Amino acid sequence: MPLIGDDAPSFKAKTTMGEINFPNDYKGKWVILFSHPADFTPVCTTEFMTFATMQEEFRALNTELIGLSIDSIYAHIAWLRTIKEKIVYKGMKDVEVNFPVIEDLKMDVAKKFGMVQPNASDTQAVRAVFMMDPKAKVRAILYYPLSNGRNMDEIKRLILAMQKSDAENIATPANWQPGDDVIIPPPGSCGSAKERVETEEEGKYCLDWFMCLRKQS
């Protein structure tokens, strides 16, 4: 299983949108690769509908979605057609899934990413989420049990937070939302700590020597 900071494993795979070659096909983009236990399951259906309705929101953040389960391409297609033609959930209907869903019958991709966990199931991928940056580095990993659906708003929030941290060299506090104040990285020495507290900067305020924040306009 790749860890945070590792290069994401490369793979070629057959999907509902044709063959993909990761990471070559996704250069310069953030990628969310998420696995689900099986097609035609209720929790997965709600997740796919939610991700599909948010796809353009993710694309606006230079982020692409890739789904995966240990099912055939034919099962994927039949399930996605059923979602579009029959399923109405929380006001979502006629939902078309336009991101690729990987066929992984031999579990090649799932095993590379540690998505199959024997104590959960020998034959199903758990609800894993891998977030990769434009350099194909693993930046975040989330795991959910088979019984509980993911929070897509939190996944989007985390993408936003990581992108802001990269762009501005800052950290984000607990429950951060866009527009909230951000944390300035802590000082590396006593001298710089004293200087930080005493130096005035527009929008900066310190709660203590180790904890300074910057207001957001």
Q: Is 1 a domain residue? A: no
Band (179; pLDDT cuts 50, 70, 90): very high
* Residue 186 confidence (pLDDT): 75
Burial label for 196, CB within 10 Å (0-12, 13-18, 19+), is: middle
CATH number of the domain bearing residue 179: 3.30.1020.10
> Tokens representing 17?
């949108």
Q: Is 34:24 a contact under the CB 8 Å cutoff?
A: no
Q: Is 52 a domain residue? A: yes
Query: Residue range 154-177: average pLDDT?
Result: 97
Mean pLDDT of the chain: 92
**Binding site residue list:** 127
**Binding site residue list for substrate:** 127
**Which of 44, 190, 206, 212 is the catalytic position?**
44
**Residue 206 annotated in active site:** no
Q: Is 158 a domain residue? A: no
Same domain, 121 and 16: yes
Tracing tokens 């060299």 back to the chain, one arrives at 169
* DSSP-assigned states of every residue in the chain: ---TTSBPPPEEEEEBTEEEEETGGGTTSEEEEEE-S-SS-HHHHHHHHHHHHTHHHHHTTTEEEEEEESS-HHHHHHHHHHHHHH--BTTB-S----S-EEE-TT-HHHHHTT-B-TTT-SSSB-EEEEEE-TT-BEEEEEEE-TTS---HHHHHHHHHHHHHHHHHT-B--TT--TTS-EEEPPPSSHHHHHHHHHS--TTEEEEETTEEEE---
Domain with 189 in it: 169-217
Query: Residue range 182-199: average pLDDT?
Result: 73
Read off the pLDDT of residues 91-148 as tens digits, 9 standing for 90 and up.
Answer: 999 999 999 999 999 889 999 998 876 665 555 667 899 999 999 999 999 999 888 9
Q: Is 164 a domain residue? A: no
* Residue 185 confidence (pLDDT): 84
Same domain, 202 and 129: no
- Last residue within a domain, chosen from 150, 181, 206: 150
Q: Is 159 a domain residue? A: no
* Residue 143 confidence (pLDDT): 92
CATH number of the domain bearing residue 126: 3.40.30.10
Quote the CA–CA distance of 3 and 206 in Å, as a whole number: 33
Read off the pLDDT of residues 42-98 as tens digits, 9 standing for 90 and up.
Answer: 999 999 999 999 999 999 999 999 999 889 999 999 999 999 999 999 999 999 999
